[in-house]
């Protein structure tokens, strides 16, 4: 604090200014006396805090806000426009002074008066607690928690070993338990009794250690889980944090141009990576300002066209698959494409082809910058750089910018950026022996239906829901190749809605809902279109997050409910207990023209292989139960399977492991650490023929 006397004041002041800005905008719309009271309390708190750190200009500005609002404290009428403008002016001036305090150790800064600080603290009616963290610090915290969880898993293994030691002590004690001996054996029995007593003491000691270690591990696990969840949320920011800024931009721009407008925003429940919001905010400011300046017509023009005199700017933030879409629409006159064409021709930006440019090509010119249809250059418009900022934001985040305009009806800007981190409420499902998450806001219903409720045809399967047939997707078929069950009760069917429509998704069972943070998949681990990202469960293991859009599209393709009648592609059986690995290998093989079935264990694979003839087995080595070496041995010993080649894929790359693979009869061996798609295909191609 001695080095930076404004460290905590800046945090508190920014929080107060954010709240005050939102309250003023709400006051302008509703005229609620409660907002007047709230603003007076906020200004009073800020004034006291500013005086503590000896910032008289900020304190005077807060006092001026009190003066502007005090006459309306008990008044029944609306606060005047001039008073609201004055309050906003003072808030802007205070914000500038707070920003100027960001350089610690100013020579003119006096140390804070601790006595005055205590007095100011007693005067506050609504204490405001603020916590702000750097992204890098949050990432470091999350990394540390992840590493600690890995160590915790090692402790669990130690706990298991202790259990085995206790069992061994039980066996030793049982063997040494005194019997009824004959007289000549009394001496040896005495020695045996002493040994038994020691073994019994060992057993009790190990049992106590195991209990204490188990309790400690469970407690650490609970604490780490809470810390990780809290840190993940701190890493994110509410999308609603954009709304006040953008509403203020819309209001100020409309007031400067004498255009009445209303600003609406939806999507506040979404929490996103703060880095994304920081970049997107600048682009949205330009889009909103552009919508008011160029889109919304003057009130007289709107009324002449049969529109309401008040223009409308609507912002919506939504998740679509693995992208976050920021959509901003105005109900103005649309982009004047003829004016864009004339400016482009005059400036030589597209000559001589400008006369033949399509609407989308003209909009692309606008996004490049340098074109403005404003009649004159002002502080708001006219320089042709606003939409250039939008395009740069999209490129910087690896996203896209789409513009749709309709003459006389308005314009919609859509900025879609890849999902980095996002907080969602997820429905956890089990399908095909694996668990996955589905965004809960896309789930419309969960049904229990019999097999006779599913209609099958040559084009696929469908389910009757609310008197309409919707396409059906059997999710275990996608994950592990399990066929559509018939003749028994279905565990669960989930009705999923996305922008592409509605579909029914069959799963084995529901495991509950949980708030979680969605992360993108690594670039080296591509997945199919039904996957939107991944999450980390309570055990620190990754799980797939499914895309509602991808599920609906897959159901509409009708290629996953039933196998095709005849396939000429060579069939390959992929055997791996990891869902991610199975889907990756399936994607590679199907892209290369192979038919792929999936098994989650060696035991299941042997059952599947006895029902269908395969050209190749692609086998993971390390699996629960029977491992890959054991599978190859059994397949080679089976007269019906002995001639089918097997390729082992494993993280065990030691020479002795490779030799063991050759000894059991594997025809190929690929180390996951050296995994290469081309190498895999080159290896299996001659084996299949």
**Among the listed residues 318, 316, 336, the one whose alpha carbon sits nearest the alpha carbon of residue 263:** 316
- SS3 call for 304: helix
pLDDT of residue 120: 35
Model confidence at 452: pLDDT above 60: no
276 or 263: which leads in pLDDT: 263
Band of the pLDDT at 380, cuts 50, 70, 90?
A: very low
Characterize the bridge pairing of strands 501-507 and 468-474. parallel
pLDDT digits over 457-483, tens only? 555 677 777 777 888 888 887 776 555
pLDDT digits over 520-563, tens only? 766 555 566 788 777 776 666 677 888 888 888 888 875 444 43
Max mean pLDDT range (164-178, 308-322, 529-543): 308-322
pLDDT of residue 616: 92
Model confidence at 133: pLDDT above 60: no
The string over 413-433, giving b where at least 16 C-beta atoms fall within 10 Å of a residue's C-beta and e elsewhere, is bbbbbebbbbbbebbbbbbbb
Model confidence at 665: pLDDT above 50: yes
- CA dihedral for 162, 166, 172, 175, sign (positive or negative): negative
CA distances from residue 308 to 302, 318, 334 in whole angstroms, order as listed = 6, 27, 16
Give the tokens for residue 41: 């309390």
Average pLDDT over residues 141-155: 67
Average pLDDT over residues 614-625: 89
Max mean pLDDT range (162-171, 411-420, 606-615, 666-675): 606-615
Beta bridge partners of 412: 329, 404
The span from the CA of 635 to the CA of 656, in Å, is 21
Please provide the size of the chain in residues: 689
pLDDT digits over 479-508, tens only? 765 555 544 445 578 898 887 788 888 888
Characterize the bridge pairing of strands 571-575 and 616-620. parallel
Q: Are 309 and 270 in contact (CB under 8 A)?
A: no
Model confidence at 202: pLDDT above 60: yes
Model confidence at 182: pLDDT above 90: no
For 457, counting Cβ atoms within 10 Å of its Cβ (0-12 exposed, 13-18 middle, 19+ buried), the class is exposed
570 or 198: which leads in pLDDT: 570
pLDDT of residue 116: 36
CA distances from residue 194 to 170, 372, 553 in whole angstroms, order as listed = 16, 98, 73
Give the tokens for residue 113: 């008066």
pLDDT of residue 462: 78
pLDDT of residue 201: 73
pLDDT of residue 449: 67
For 512, the enclosing helix (H) or strand (E) is: strand 509-518
The total of other beta-carbon atoms located within 10 Å of residue 522's CB is 8
Model confidence at 312: pLDDT above 90: yes
Model confidence at 2: pLDDT above 60: no
Alpha carbons within 13 angstroms on the beta-carbon side of residue 597 total: 26
pLDDT of residue 335: 84
Average pLDDT over residues 581-586: 82
Beta bridge partners of 418: 323
Band of the pLDDT at 675, cuts 50, 70, 90?
A: low
461 or 681: which leads in pLDDT: 681
pLDDT of residue 139: 65
Model confidence at 594: pLDDT above 70: yes
For 50, counting Cβ atoms within 10 Å of its Cβ (0-12 exposed, 13-18 middle, 19+ buried), the class is buried
The span from the CA of 471 to the CA of 503, in Å, is 5
Calculate the average pLDDT of the chain. Answer: 76
pLDDT of residue 200: 72
User: In percent, how much of the chain has pLDDT > 90?
Assistant: 11
259 or 478: which leads in pLDDT: 259
Q: How far apart are the first and last CA of the chain?
A: 74
187 or 311: which leads in pLDDT: 311
Q: Are 653 and 671 in contact (CB under 8 A)?
A: yes
Band of the pLDDT at 382, cuts 50, 70, 90?
A: very low
**Is the whole-model pTM more than 0.75?**
no
Max mean pLDDT range (5-9, 177-181, 380-384, 668-672): 668-672
Q: Tell me the three-class secondary structure of 541-569, residue by residue.
A: CEEEEECHHHHHHHHHHCCCCCCCCCCCC
Model confidence at 349: pLDDT above 60: no
672 or 610: which leads in pLDDT: 610
Band of the pLDDT at 572, cuts 50, 70, 90?
A: very high
pLDDT of residue 450: 60
Secondary structure (DSSP) of 178-201: -----GGGHHHHHHHHHHHHHHHH
The span from the CA of 156 to the CA of 213, in Å, is 9
The total of other beta-carbon atoms located within 10 Å of residue 586's CB is 23
Band of the pLDDT at 308, cuts 50, 70, 90?
A: very high
Average pLDDT over residues 282-309: 89
Q: Are 548 and 637 in contact (CB under 8 A)?
A: no
Least confident of 11-20, 24-33, 211-220, 394-403: 211-220
Average pLDDT over residues 158-179: 66
Model confidence at 137: pLDDT above 60: no
Model confidence at 631: pLDDT above 90: yes
Model confidence at 320: pLDDT above 50: yes
């Amino acid at each position: 604090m001695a080095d930076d006397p404004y460290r905590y004041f800046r945090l508190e002041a920014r929080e107060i200014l954010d709240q005050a800005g939102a309250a003023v905008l709400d006051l302008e719309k509703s005229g609620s006396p409660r907002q007047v009271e709230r603003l007076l309390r906020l200004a009073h708190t800020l004034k006291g805090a500013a005086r503590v750190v000896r910032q008289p200009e900020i304190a005077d500005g807060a006092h001026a806000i009190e003066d502007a609002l005090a006459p309306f404290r008990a008044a029944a009428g609306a606060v005047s426009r001039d008073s609201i403008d004055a309050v906003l002016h003072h808030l802007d001036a205070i914000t500038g002074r707070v920003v100027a305090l960001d350089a610690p150790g100013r020579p003119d800064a006096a140390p804070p008066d601790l006595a005055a600080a205590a007095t100011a603290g007693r005067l506050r009616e609504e204490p405001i607690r603020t916590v702000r963290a750097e992204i890098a610090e949050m990432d470091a915290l999350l990394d540390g928690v992840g590493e600690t969880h890995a160590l915790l898993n090692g402790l669990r293994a130690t706990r298991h070993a202790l259990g085995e030691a206790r069992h061994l002590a039980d066996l030793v004690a049982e063997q040494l338990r005194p019997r009824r001996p004959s007289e000549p054996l009394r001496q040896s029995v005495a020695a045996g009794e002493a040994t038994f007593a020691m073994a019994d003491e060992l057993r009790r000691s190990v049992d106590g250690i195991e209990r204490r270690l188990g309790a400690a591990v469970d407690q650490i696990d609970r604490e780490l889980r809470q810390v990780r969840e809290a840190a993940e949320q701190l890493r994110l920011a509410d999308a609603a944090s954009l709304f006040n800024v953008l509403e203020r931009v819309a209001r100020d721009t409309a007031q400067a141009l004498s255009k009445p407008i209303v600003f609406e925003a939806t999507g506040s429940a979404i929490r996103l990576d703060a880095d994304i919001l920081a970049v997107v905010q600048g682009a949205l400011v330009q889009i909103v300002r552009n919508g008011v300046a160029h889109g919304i017509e003057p009130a007289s023009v709107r009324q002449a066209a049969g529109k309401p005199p008040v223009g409308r700017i609507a912002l919506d933030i939504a998740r679509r698959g693995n992208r976050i879409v920021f959509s901003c629409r105005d109900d103005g006159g649309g982009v004047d494409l003829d004016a864009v064409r004339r400016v482009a021709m005059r400036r030589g930006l597209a000559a001589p082809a400008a006369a033949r440019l399509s609407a989308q090509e003209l909009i692309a010119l606008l996004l490049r910058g340098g074109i403005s249809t404003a009649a004159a250059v002002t502080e708001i418009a006219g320089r042709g750089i606003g939409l250039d900022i939008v395009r740069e934001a999209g490129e910087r985040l690896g996203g896209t910018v789409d513009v749709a305009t309709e003459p006389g009806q308005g314009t919609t800007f859509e900025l879609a950026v890849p999902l980095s981190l996002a907080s969602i409420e997820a429905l956890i499902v089990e399908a095909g022996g694996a668990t996955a998450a589905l965004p809960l806001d896309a789930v419309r219903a969960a049904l229990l239906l019999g097999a006779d409720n599913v209609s099958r045809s040559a084009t696929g399967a469908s389910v009757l829901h609310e008197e309409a047939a919707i396409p059906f997707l059997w999710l275990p078929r996608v994950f592990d190749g399990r066929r559509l069950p018939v003749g028994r009760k279905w565990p669960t069917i989930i009705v999923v809605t996305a922008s592409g429509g509605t579909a029914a998704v069959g799963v084995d069972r529901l495991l509950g809902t949980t708030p979680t943070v969605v992360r993108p998949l690594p670039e080296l681990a591509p997945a199919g279109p039904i996957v939107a990202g991944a999450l980390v469960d309570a055990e620190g293991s990754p799980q797939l997050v499914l895309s509602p859009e991808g599920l609906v599209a897959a159901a509409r393709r009708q290629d996953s409910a039933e196998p095709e009648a005849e396939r000429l592609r060579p069939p390959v059986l992929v055997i791996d207990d990891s869902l991610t690995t199975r889907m990756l290998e399936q994607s590679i093989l199907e892209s290369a023209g192979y038919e792929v079935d999936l098994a989650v264990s060696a035991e299941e694979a042997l059952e599947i292989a006895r029902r269908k003839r395969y050209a190749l087995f692609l086998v993971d080595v390390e699996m629960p139960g029977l491992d890959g070496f054991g599978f190859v041995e059994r397949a080679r010993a089976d007269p019906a399977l002995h001639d089918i080649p097997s390729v082992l894929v494993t993280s065990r790359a030691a020479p002795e492991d490779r030799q063991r693979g050759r000894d059991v009869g594997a025809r190929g061996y690929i180390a996951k650490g050296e995994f290469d798609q081309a190498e895999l295909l080159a290896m299996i191609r001659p084996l299949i023929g």
